[in-house]
Chain A
């Protein structure tokens, strides 16, 4: 299974500020996904981060609010911009099991953001 490291694991942020979350994978992966999990809720896909091209955003999520970088096959960042209390969530990076085409996703530990 892939080892996925996320930083920060948690943070408390002020309204109006931005925070960048980092995701590092121990192997090269073609696709990386960013999910949001609001308190007590399910996982909602924000976007797919593809190396060498723009991220693909899901309905309801826009690049200005959640800019994503994918400089190489092992790393991605998600920025939560101009934060409001509604952005308080756990943000999870995930990658599929490569080369097996099984569809299984592995998740990072998540980054728990609290916006005051």
Chain B
């Protein structure tokens, strides 16, 4: 089955700096790669996703890149703000079978 690894487990940045979270996956059949943000005590919320036929996608301060050959994908957050502080999960999915990475706790210091 699919195995998703995520690094780092914790990340602390200064407000305004960039943050990068990286994930690798094992199943070449995976074709959908979402990123979820989970604030304390709340449900995971989709923030951006990418499909296997696309190499990069951007939405304002958030971007995701995918290297299908190397089976890794990354989340980039630019101009970080304190409200970006949360746990971020990557995931890899094939036919609605979604597996999550271990999560990254991002802290943005004002």
A interface vs B, CB < 8 Å? 31, 33, 41-45, 59, 92, 96, 102-110
Q: List chain A residues, Cβ under 8 A from B45.
A: 107
Report 25 cross-chain contacts, Cβ distance below 8 Å, ordered by A residue: A31-B96, A33-B98, A41-B103, A42-B100, A42-B103, A43-B44, A43-B89, A44-B100, A45-B98, A45-B99, A96-B96, A102-B32, A102-B49, A103-B31, A103-B49, A105-B34, A105-B98, A106-B46, A107-B43, A107-B44, A107-B45, A108-B43, A109-B42, A109-B43, A110-B43
Q: List chain B residues, Cβ under 8 A from A41.
A: 102-103
Q: List chain B residues, Cβ under 8 A from A106.
A: 46
Is B81 part of the binding interface, using a Cβ–Cβ cutoff of 8 Å?
no
Looking at chain B's contact residues, the main secondary structure is strand
B93 and A103 contacting across the interface, CB-CB below 8 Å: yes
B49 and A104 contacting across the interface, CB-CB below 8 Å: yes
**Complex: how many Å from CA A109 to CA B45?**
10
**Complex: how many Å from CA A106 to CA B46?**
8
Chain B 23-49: CB-based contact to A (< 8 A → 1; otherwise 0): 000000001101000000011111001
B interface vs A, CB < 8 Å? 1, 31-32, 34, 42-46, 49, 89, 93, 96-103
A104 and B43 contacting across the interface, CB-CB below 8 Å: no
**Complex: how many Å from CA A109 to CA B39?**
12
A103 and B98 contacting across the interface, CB-CB below 8 Å: yes
**Complex: how many Å from CA A107 to CA B43?**
6
The answer, among B43, B49, B102, for a CB contact under 8 Å with A92, is B43
Query: How far, in Å, is B105 (CB) from chain A's closest CB?
Result: 9
Q: List chain A residues, Cβ under 8 A from B99.
A: 45
Q: List chain B residues, Cβ under 8 A from A109.
A: 42-43
